[in-house]
Amino acid sequence: MRFQTILGYGMGLAAFLQIAAASPLDEPEVLAVASFPEENAFGHVVNGEKNDVFLAVENKSDRNITLQSIAGSIHHPETNALVKNTTALTYKVPLLGGAKIQLPYSFYSEFKPGDWRLNIWIDHTAEGEKYRVQAYDSIITVVEPEVSIFDFKMLSTYAIVIALLGAIGYYTYLSFAPQPKKRKTPAVSAPVGPVTATGAGGYQEEWIPEHHLKKPKARKTKSTALTSGDETSGAELSAAEGKRRKTKK
């Protein structure tokens, strides 16, 4: 009797172990929640800029897991049709049973402004098995970046474009515009013969027009004062008159 009882327990244990080995292990309970930063409370996704999201992950099971990657996708808000997958970010971070962790995730948007559905999930592995946990599934609003006249990037872009257009226009003008004709200046002939100077104020009359060479006639002015030349001529006249008188006597 005891032998049959022991044999029955043994067969039951073997069947249990066989069923346990054939059935897969249950998925570990992992909770993941994604949220936008406080400065983006309305969940606006800006085109052309880096959009940040933070994921709070909690391992509620007693099994150790490994967080492999975080990824996402954009869908049509009404039909839920896939539009585009976002960039996948690889982590491979171990997470012990009962532990919590916060991971950052960022993606870029290049979609038409309006409402879209955003899905974000996390992939993890436990004992060689791969699992996926949904972290975010909601409607977002895609907007264009704000434009400012003091934006350095925009000003530098405008400056580069204006410089290129100016260079192209100047090159086109030089290539197709008629060149102005140069005026010919008559060559100055060298003087014939040797050049002589008569002193500090000397000059050559050959180079001076004739009407400039004619000196105006000096006006005669009466002067009571006698020059040394006048005195000499008067003395000579008086001596000649004295000789005439002696001959007459």
Averaged pLDDT of the chain? 76
Domain 14-143: state its class.
mainly beta
pLDDT > 90 in the chain, percent? 43
- Residue predicted with more confidence, 233 or 113: 113
User: Tens of pLDDT along 38-90?
Assistant: 988 888 999 989 999 999 999 999 999 999 999 999 999 999 999 999 999 99
CA angle at 51 for the pair 46 and 53, rounded to the nearest 5°: 135
Name residue 85's amino acid: N
For residue 101, what pLDDT is reported? 95
For residue 158, what pLDDT is reported? 80
Tell me the pLDDT band of 113, cut-offs 50, 70 and 90. Answer: very high
User: Tens of pLDDT along 161-212?
Assistant: 999 889 998 888 778 776 666 666 666 555 555 555 555 555 566 666 666 6
Render the burial of 124-148: b for 16+ CB within 10 Å, e for the rest.
bebeeeeeebebbeeebebeeeeee
CA distances from 145 to 24, 46, 111, 113, 152 (A): 49, 6, 12, 10, 14
pTM of the complete model beyond 0.95: no
C-alpha span between 107 and 116 (Å, rounded): 15
Name residue 92's amino acid: K
Q: What is the 3-state secondary structure (H, E, C) of 232-246?
A: HHHHHHHHHHHHHHH
C-alpha span between 26 and 242 (Å, rounded): 169
Residue 106 has pLDDT above 50, yes or no: yes
Tell me the pLDDT band of 231, cut-offs 50, 70 and 90. Answer: very low
For residue 16, what pLDDT is reported? 45
For residue 129, what pLDDT is reported? 93
- Smallest Cα–Cα separation from 61: which of 126, 10, 134? 126
Q: Strand (E) positions, the chain? A: 30-35, 44-46, 50-59, 65-75, 82-85, 89-95, 100-108, 114-126, 129-143
Long-range Cβ contacts of 85-93 (<8 Å, 24+ apart):
86/120, 91/67, 92/66, 92/67, 92/68, 93/66, 93/67
- Smallest Cα–Cα separation from 70: which of 145, 120, 129? 120
Would you give the DSSP letter of residue 109?
B
- Summarize the chain as % helix, strand, coil (round to 5): 30, 30, 35
User: Tens of pLDDT along 128-168?
Assistant: 899 999 999 999 999 998 766 656 666 788 889 999 889 99
User: Strand pairing partners for 95?
Assistant: 65
For residue 176, what pLDDT is reported? 78
For residue 45, what pLDDT is reported? 93
Surface-to-core class of residue 97, CB atoms within 10 Å of its CB (0-12 exposed, 13-18 middle, 19+ buried): middle
Chain-centroid distance, C-alpha 105:
28
Instruction: Out of 27-36, 160-169, 233-242, pick the least confident.
Output: 233-242
